[in-house]
Amino acid sequence: MKYLREYSGRMKKYAAAFLLCCLTAGCVAFLYDLPAEPVIYGGVLCTLIMFLFFWDGYRKYVRRRETLQQILNNNFLEEKMFPEPLDETERLYQEIVKNFNSLRMKSEGGKRRFYEDLTDYYTMWVHQIKTPISALRLLLQENREENKAELSELFKIEQYVEMVLGYLRTEDISADMSFQEYELDSLIKEQIHKYARIFVGKKLTLHYEGVEERVLTDGKWLGFVIGQIFSNALKYTKQGGISVYMSGDRAHTLVIEDTGIGIRPEDLPRVFEKGFTGHNGREDNRATGIGLYLCVKIMKKLRHEITIESTPGKGTKIYLFLGRKALDMY
């Protein structure tokens, strides 16, 4: 009905011209006192012909509209997709659209190549910077007790380098994923071992009694997410500690809970946005607003889910649903 209304609106002037012709013919027949029967037959025949032309035009209009709508929905344009132009004006419109599309494709191709080159450069830089960092760690570990502060700062540098590398890789993360069943306990313990020095240095407690859960995932990337959550929790927890356990009321859900400063209610809905640091981030000049953004992006690719609850002054709970969500096709 929508197309019929649109097409009828376009044909109004032609319908008005037809009615005017019929009225003129009727007036002429009346003035010259012509027989009514041939005049009526002629009017009916003209109306029938007009209806056939209208119906044929309407069918063509619907096909053209559906073709153009399909082109719009696909966000992809090829010359053969366009319907045949009805006249020279429409042909010129199509040429203009094709020219704009050609320019857009060239621009997008240039941007894509620039981004790929930039990503390759930064990825190479990150890998190269790891070598002197590793060498510096070996030197500092020769006098571990004297270099505790330096080792702690070096660990933070390593975490930022890993975050940059993770950010670069997530742009094409699907190609780097390998799914299999993992013991969740081993993934958690790996991250606990990684951050053990920070727990000891800040005199924070860790409550973890092990979990018996197997999860279908990519171990490297899920480990990255757990590590980022540990990093955030340790950064904003001054006293108390961190608890890691399986939720009692949410199936297949790992909970990482801290007793840190918490997150303000007005900041909570935006903590997973790229670059958002919130009040806590503005207080801590080292915040990047990238960590949790990477976590939610990776969890979506893994078809898991991450949610957060927080109370200012009491702490934060991160929920990692590790079941498999339905694949989003859109």
pLDDT number for residue 218:
92
Rounded to whole angstroms, how far apart are CA atoms 224 and 159? 11
**Which residues are CB-neighbours of 233 under 8 A, at least 6 positions away?**
242, 256, 258, 260, 316, 318
Q: How many residues does the chain have?
A: 330
| Confidence (pLDDT) at 31 | 75
Residue 285 confidence (pLDDT) = 56
Token pair listed for 112: 């894509």
Residue 150: phi, psi to the nearest 5?
Answer: -65, -40
- The predicted structure's pLDDT at residue 206: 94
Work out whether the CA dihedral 199, 203, 208, 209 comes out positive or negative.
positive
* Predicted local confidence at residue 328, as pLDDT: 46
What tens digit of pLDDT does each residue of 178-220 get? 899 999 999 999 999 988 888 888 899 999 999 999 999 999 8
pLDDT of residue 327: 47
Report the pLDDT value the prediction gives residue 86, as an integer from 0 to 100: 67
**Number of C-beta neighbours around residue 291 at 10 A:** 21
Structural contact between residues 165 and 294, judged by C-beta atoms closer than 8 angstroms: no
SS (H, E, C) the chain: CHHHHHHHHHCHHHHHHHHHHHHHHHHHHHHCCCCHHHHHHHHHHHHHHHHHHHHHHHHHHHHHHHHHHHHHHHCCCCHHHCCCCCCHHHHHHHHHHHHHHHHHHHHHHHHHHHHHHHHHHHHHHHHHHHHHHHHHHHHHHCCCCCCHHHHHHHHHHHHHHHHHHHHHHHCCHHHHCCCEEEEHHHHHHHHHHHCHHHHHHHCCEEECCCCCCEEEECHHHHHHHHHHHHHHHHHCCCCCEEEEEECCCCCCEEEEEECCCCCCCCCHHHCCCCCCCHHHHHHCCCCCCCHHHHHHHHHHHCCCEEEEEEECCCEEEEEEECCCCCCCCC
**Two structure tokens written together for 183:** 């013991």
pLDDT < 50 positions in the chain: 327-330
The C-alpha atoms of residue 130 and residue 157 are separated, in whole angstroms, by: 10
- Count Cα atoms within 13 angstroms, Cβ side, for 127: 8
pTM of the model: 0.59
